[in-house]
Structure 1
């Protein structure tokens, strides 16, 4: 765990921070490659309803009483989850916060009984690909109509 950083569970009071971090994520790279439709924004606009209440989980990274990162675990089906919405504020990047969030979320996936965790991303996001590889994810073929051009899976 990076010095001075703690990983905490999402609470409804964190909604604005979750949305702000994901807005940076969306507008920094997603909108360069994809069109974001209304349905794609729903988990960001209402994470309690669209992630937590559907069997998923959200973690927040806190440093100096400020939320600097987030990561979601979205329940797909049966015991398969998607690691999604991993975002770290630009000023807090390169400090191991993404790694800490990923590790903590994989621990949560195990607690929830996940047998597989998937990640969808794009091949130009080399830092993200390196992080997912370091976390143990391996390349897998894309399923029809999945966004991005890279799918990675981790069997637990």
Structure 2
């Protein structure tokens, strides 16, 4: 997941990966605590000073694998609050393709996000202004991925991104324009991306879905995704 959404800069801190990306998305501006630092309080001070020097609110990505094991409690005691509880789900690509219906919809697949794709993503699901969009585009361009677009005479109808990491793929940026929803376009996007991915040796796919997004969870459950982990962010209040 870290490779599927790569930050602009990262600092290795005694087992932690401190990610920075000019404030765009918590994924790229949070600490990935992979193993426990020798001096926890000193490490926390370093993270807070580094993030604040870059104008970023200190933030940690806390999962069951976070180290040290009491990190969540230590962050709470230090004034960090929980944000965006998220489920991590996985599935086998072959199983998904068996469940996904055939679609007559034409889906364009590219290896780069063109201007139409970016404009659609930011219009439907973006957060921030032009500078934030430019920084987000750089995140996308740092990793190998496939981009799906369902075009129309007017606004783009739907988009999606599939990050490619070895034989894994990560589903990101799935978005359908409000006026074209409930037409099966999200399914068409997912199917087209996975069909292309199979030609590149991809066998498994993961996604991250916010725990309170029940409609999205229902869709992924029907397709055969299963929750394998979860995480939340701890953000300095």
Shorter-chain TM range is: 0.5 to 0.7
**Which structure has the larger Rg?**
2
TM-score by length of 2: 0.46
Quick check: 2:109–2:193 contact (8 Å CA) kept in 1?
A: no
Instruction: Tell me the equivalent position of 2:137.
Output: 45
Q: Aligned partners of 1:93, 1:102: CA distance in 2, in Å? A: 15
TM-score by length of 1: 0.66
Which has the larger helix fraction? 1
- How many residues align? The count is 128
- Structure 1 residues 73, 127: closer, same or farther in 2, change over 3 A? same
Deviations 1:8-52 (A, max 9, x none): 12376x62222222222134xxx8xxxxxx6x964x4248733xx
Instruction: Tell me the equivalent position of 2:211.
Output: 123
Instruction: Tell me the equivalent position of 2:178.
Output: 90
Q: Aligned partners of 2:218, 2:116: CA distance in 1, in Å? A: 25
Q: Aligned partners of 1:135, 1:41: CA distance in 2, in Å? A: 33
Instruction: Tell me the equivalent position of 2:145.
Output: 56
Deviation at 1:96, TM superposition (A): 0.5
Q: Aligned partners of 1:121, 1:18: CA distance in 2, in Å? A: 21
Quick check: 2:175–2:186 contact (8 Å CA) kept in 1?
A: yes
Quick check: 1:102–1:135 contact (8 Å CA) kept in 2?
A: no
Q: Aligned partners of 2:115, 2:211: CA distance in 1, in Å? A: 29
Structure 1 gaps of 5+ residues are 32-37, 146-156
Q: Tell me which stretches of 4 or more aligned residues in structure 1 moved more than 4 Å.
A: none
**Structural RMSD (CA):** 3.0
Q: Which structure's relative contact order is higher, taking Cα pairs within 8 Å and 6+ residues apart?
A: 2
1:9 to 97, 105, 109: 109
Helix, strand or coil: the match of 2:230?
coil
- Structure 1 residues 113, 139: closer, same or farther in 2, change over 3 A? same
- Structure 1 residues 123, 48: closer, same or farther in 2, change over 3 A? closer
